[in-house]
């Protein structure tokens, strides 16, 4: 949705300004599990595989104010979105945002998209403006390569998008399915390292050679004939084997931009290796990392895997989280002004 179009929509905002108090938004992190096609000879690029998870998460409360002000982790990102949208919709007041929790920045968990969408959805809801997360994401410059962050915000679950084509819009969502409720993801977190981001990310993508077409074709076959069916039939062995193979192909392709390793954080790679040795499946790194992951078929087995690797993680200065898949999108609710 172009900003010029948005500026025509200030009338509904003015009608609703008498409505109430504040808005709370809770948005899920997302794992980026790999790309479908980094070759591009079919005139589409990328194609992403993703999963919404319940932790970590971004939570904020927005209310009107005489000025723009914020507090809490990563609130500057929220304020930037609020200023941009307030200008686009010609909203007369300022806003106060309080961020009570934030997905770690540059960890491969979609922090920027979730913060922007959370702030944007809070503003739209507070002012009574109809909105669609994908269009809102485009307005705040999200979805340049992937739509899974926007889909995670809107719907949650397991997501596959169709990559960027010739149209100037976010990629279409091809698959959206519930993640099996019993399954767990173990996330290996390294707070001391940041994944490639910003201009460095743009330059890294530009420098990567095309993935061979046969490798891209193999990934697409793995997704269509093993990964997605394994998830839908709750066959974690099939799901895990496919994901590990996809991550091997994509990780090796990106290694040149990550110091020659498929792992941004070598320590994360060692801990994920320990989880795999103890029985974890579907191992890999989310996006540019440093967050790594492994999957387990139940909370009990996830806890056992956690116990088997936590001492290794602590020696590396890392943290392990046990996450559930989140099969719904962000929660957005009006609350009393505080």
Which DSSP category does 104 fall into? P
213: its two tokens: 């077409």
Of 13, 43, 287, 3, nearest in space to 141 by CA: 3
24: its two tokens: 């709370």
For the chain, domain boundaries? 3-335
- pTM, to two decimals: 0.90
In angstroms, rounded to a whole number, what is the distance separating the alpha carbons of residues 22 and 261? 46
Alpha helices per DSSP H over the chain: 3-6, 10-16, 75-88, 111-126, 133-139, 148-154, 198-207, 213-222, 228-232, 236-254, 266-277, 299-315
In angstroms, rounded to a whole number, what is the distance separating the alpha carbons of residues 251 and 73? 30
297: its two tokens: 């078929």
pLDDT in tens, the chain (338 residues): 333 334 334 333 344 444 569 999 999 999 999 999 999 999 999 999 999 999 999 999 999 999 999 999 999 999 999 999 999 899 987 999 999 999 999 999 999 999 999 999 999 999 999 887 777 877 776 656 789 999 999 999 999 999 999 887 889 999 999 999 999 999 999 999 987 777 778 787 888 899 999 999 999 999 999 999 999 999 999 999 999 999 999 999 999 888 889 999 999 999 999 999 999 999 999 999 999 999 999 999 999 999 999 999 999 999 999 999 999 999 999 998 76
Q: Tell me if 51 sits within 8 A of 180, measured CB to CB.
A: no
- Which option is the CATH number for 3-335: 3.40.1690.10, 1.10.10.10, 2.40.10.10, 3.30.230.120? 3.30.230.120
Taking the alpha carbons at both ends of the chain, their separation in whole angstroms is: 33
> Tokens 């795999």 appear where?
276
Instruction: Convert the pLDDT of each residue in 22-77 to its tens digit.
Output: 999 999 999 999 999 999 999 999 999 999 999 999 999 999 999 999 999 999 99
């Amino acid at each position: 949705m172009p900003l010029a179009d948005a500026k025509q929509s200030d009338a509904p905002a003015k009608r609703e300004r008498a409505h109430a108090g504040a808005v709370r938004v809770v948005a899920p992190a997302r794992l980026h599990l790999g790309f479908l096609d980094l070759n591009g000879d079919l005139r589409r690029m990328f194609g992403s595989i993703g999963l919404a998870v319940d932790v970590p998460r971004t939570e904020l409360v927005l209310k009107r104010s005489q000025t723009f002000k914020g507090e809490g982790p990563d609130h500057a990102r929220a304020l930037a979105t609020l200023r941009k949208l307030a200008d686009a919709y010609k909203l007369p007041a300022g806003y106060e945002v309080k961020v009570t929790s934030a997905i770690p920045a540059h960890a491969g968990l979609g922090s920027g998209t979730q913060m922007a969408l959370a702030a944007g959805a809070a503003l739209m809801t507070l002012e009574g403006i109809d909105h669609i997360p994908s269009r809102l994401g485009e307005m705040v410059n999200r979805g340049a390569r992937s739509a899974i962050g926007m889909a995670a915000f809107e719907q949650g679950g397991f997501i596959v998008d169709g990559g960027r084509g010739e149209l100037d819009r976010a990629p279409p969502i091809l698959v959206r399915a519930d993640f099996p409720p019993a399954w767990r993801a173990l996330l290996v977190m390294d707070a001391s390292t940041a994944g490639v981001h910003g201009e460095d990310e743009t330059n890294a993508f530009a420098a990567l050679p095309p993935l061979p077409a046969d490798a891209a074709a193999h990934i697409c076959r793995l997704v269509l004939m093993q990964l997605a069916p394994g998830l839908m039939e709750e066959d974690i062995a099939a799901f895990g084997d496919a994901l590990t193979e996809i991550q091997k192909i994509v990780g090796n392709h990106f290694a040149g931009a990550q110091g020659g390793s498929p792992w941004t954080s070598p320590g994360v790679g060692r801990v994920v290796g320990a989880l795999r040795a103890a029985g974890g499946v579907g191992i890999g790194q989310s996006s540019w990392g440093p967050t790594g992951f492994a999957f387990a078929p139940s909370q009990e087995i996830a806890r056992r895997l956690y116990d088997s690797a936590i001492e290794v993680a602590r020696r590396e200065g890392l943290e392990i989280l046990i996450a559930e898949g989140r099969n719904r999108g962000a929660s957005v609710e009006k609350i009393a002004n505080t």
